[in-house]
Structure 1
Amino acid sequence: MSDDRCQTRYGYKEINFPFQLKNQPNEYRCRYPGLDVSCNNQTDTSIAFPSSGNFTAQIIGNVEQIIEIGDPNGCLAKRLLEGFDLSGTPFQTVYLQNFMLLNCSNDVPFWYPEFVTYISCLSSENNYTVAISVDRPDLFVTFSSCLAMATVSVSSLLNWEYLTDTMWLTWNEPDCKRYLKSGGVCKYNKNTGFDDGCSVDLDPGML
């Protein structure tokens, strides 16, 4: 359940506290610092990370306090190579998995074993790139002559053994899970400060 004053429908998404669209006034204190999103087009929203730039906000699960993000250009591996930093945000990783990115000459026959991910956006006419979980050393044998580019870390909900185009993050503050799961309204308890969390029975006069 959410406060209607803090609810915005954008495309197929509902934006609720603690998230809010940047261009909306914050008179009802619907936004938690660092949890504001922007409009990309008629259906997409994006979220900015101070040290890593903009990502699409594909799924926002307020009850579970998880968000799925991806690269607007569809090349998450490239963004990870550039460095992904959560500094200055309320987000944390969920389940970190490490993948080695390998650049291979086309002279190296490419086959499609399970859990070897072909990265088309980092491949070219003469070279191709694959991602292999560091927990699967058996899969590196075929690609032993390839150049190791880097090891990247991906935050995921499950222990996937292949690199996907999105990743998941979570946040601890404000902690609304217990209120939303019981059907309550999640909102600030007071009209100032951020440390009072949320309330099931919010008095509108306290806004």
Structure 2
Amino acid sequence: MAKREKHIEAITLRAEERLSLNQIAERLGVSKSSVSLWLSECPLSEEEKRERMREANLGNQHGKKPLREPSKLYRASEVESLTTSQKGDIAEYAVAFRLAVHGFSIHKPYSSGGVDWLAENPKTGKIFRIEVKWASKAKEGLPFIRLTRSSNGQRYDNNYFDFIVGYDFYSDTAYVYSFSEISKNKTIITISETAAERWDKLK
């Protein structure tokens, strides 16, 4: 990615995801000083800065493994030969496996146009609508999750799902986002350490 393109991508990440300088620098593989210069006219509010600090601290508390370590499944597969349908199945069942491990009852919705899974918390009786996405590989930086429908490319309607989960096959990691967390993003969200395996959000 050329320097000009990274400049534009940095502005997009700040506008759509409201990321910190450190987060954008990490995702684009550039220095923090470059990002600071590019975004001098696009600062975060003081409240947003505090929120980014809180997220960083939360990520440390959860002791997540580093992003982007190739998994055994990835190394054993021929990922380039996988079809879109196969990728979708892998992502859906990888998420279903995690939901089951965490004690949720899993159901397929009756409607063919609905979300991928309905996950019921047996302790509270709450049912969550789960949309699953294969985390797309970026040319540079971290993978991203598309917030648009596969059928027509349009963004999901308000409250279509309760949570969207992006599955990164490379690292065998699921990234969990509530609808409110991605409500300001237009078409994509780049995977974030603070969302890795955050099944505790489903309460």
Tell me the TM-score range normalised by the shorter chain.
under 0.3
Which of the two has greater strand per residue?
1
Q: Under a length normalisation based on structure 2, what TM-score does the superposition of the two structures give?
A: 0.26
User: Going by fraction, where is helix more abundant, 1 or 2?
Assistant: 2
